[in-house]
Structure 1
């Protein structure tokens, strides 16, 4: 969400920033709509004020015995009472039209976000870990997994495409990964564990930017709620419509939840295997901070996600996304891409974003700086710490053995009940 006052102050800068995200110039039309709304608001306020003044003057005229003036004032008040509802309705309609126009626009990219239209313009910042040298041809997880308990056929028979049924040791490894990540983020990185709702109302999905733009990517229930595509929605909305006590900062929350996505924009992508599912689990990280703290918090959050990959010994690279490849709510995003030897490719496993005050404006989440009478919008950040299914894929492909077994990473063994290897 954007502040129309800032657009009024510098419409050229607003258009220039959005142009980096491929948005055509729009400030002029927004300001025209804003001017129209403000003119109607002024007329409405003037009419309300005149009605109040005329109503008071009626009594004064009657007290003075001036019946003619009193009758004229009554007629004026009656006319204003008929006029005002139309003005009020026009004001509401124009305010809603302006809000819808602003709500449909993406966040402005930070100054250090590189230009570009798609992932080809993303910038690699660093790599970590050594890629394993195999004495055999490594398999993709979709070929390796079925003998270990990754049952694609049963999942599809029960629910259709993009669903998987995990069995036995594979289900245990999947659970161990989620618990390991959650414990690490809470015990070592200071995030508060939460168990949030998986169903949310329109206001919550709007607050974090899923609505109205990404309706087709969500699943909706028959009573009008939405299944969360990520715990970011529930966790971030924990501060909606609040004025937060400054002493609470930084607020850091984490949750391990199922996530649900229709993948409407991913037709034909990753239809084979466990990479892109309609239902998956993820450990989500959310921070709510003062504006001056959000850049440092973004670096910290990304390091918390990186720590999981490092503990598991999974090679990865850190990417700075270009303006055209970021999510709509982000002003700056780092992606962590893990190396998958079976695919011979880097694949996203975490995305950490600084949203600035974009979501806070949509949620009306504020705080009052010490010594100030005015409130300011908080800054919100979110990231994956990590996507459990994709981490499972990375473990399978990086720790596979020639006989089809998979070694369990050392860091996971406390959560595996003594199991050190998945065997076909």
Structure 2
């Protein structure tokens, strides 16, 4: 092996995720994560090993590289895997091509032109329905017929590490019928995965569930922050607005669909039967272990959630097919959130809203404090990895600190 990869590294030889990094002496550019290092693709391209215009590796986002198509992006990944495992390859002795991750700053991996958030975990939707609507009829009538989603705000999607200020807005105090203005008292995380599209379509075109994988470049961890008290007041009749658009965080490394192929699993049984355009063949869910930790300022992190992407009722192929069935066009770099990922057990719930059950069951932190929702100074960190038959493919983490309202 050209470079040492620690045991249980998220960035094994089976992964090779793509991202954008910079250092003190290297401008933002494309790289791949391998173990504790980054392989500088812009520097590698100077060895004349690629047969396409490698100027795409010097861009500040991956959109142009991704738009070259999977025939090229898959070959780049495969070639790097082979070179890393061959002690006589072009990478041999080329230490200048590698940068320690600790010496690099990560950036947004893609320019996100459009963003859609889905609501595809039946456990999460059921929990929310029980809390806010009817414990006996928690799901709305349409939920098992369509992958429910809404269009979000792309401009406030930021990369892991950027802090975010507590949002302000209108809320309804308990026992009052009149709104007040001020900082949200119920800031919450939402544990999600996001997929990024690698091909564009024209207005009027649709993508079938069979074609969907050709359009999905890869996945990231996604923390879709929410302000539950603002959301409760504003979401009727048109849905989330200020409660959701103040910030969402993504992990910096995009794990390709090819790297995740060994971890495909069957999803939940869908009853009633879906309409023909949502039917699909084969395993379309992914067994990805997920966890969330909260670290109060100056204190040790407490794991509060352990979930899995395999729980999703609606899969990515169905989400993309539904999104485009009306002719909605998509672009390279568009981001699609899975919706909060919750499992059946209480410790697998993917939001504080569920974990603390609307504040009625506070979580105890290691420093002795309690959490109903996220407090100023708290750092929320999400991690994810898939593991099977000695292969581990991970996402690293998406982490962010909540600062006081401005």
**TM-score (norm. length: structure 1):** 0.21
Larger radius of gyration: 1
Larger relative CO (CA 8 A, sep 6+): 1 or 2?
2
| TM-score normalized by the length of structure 2 | 0.22
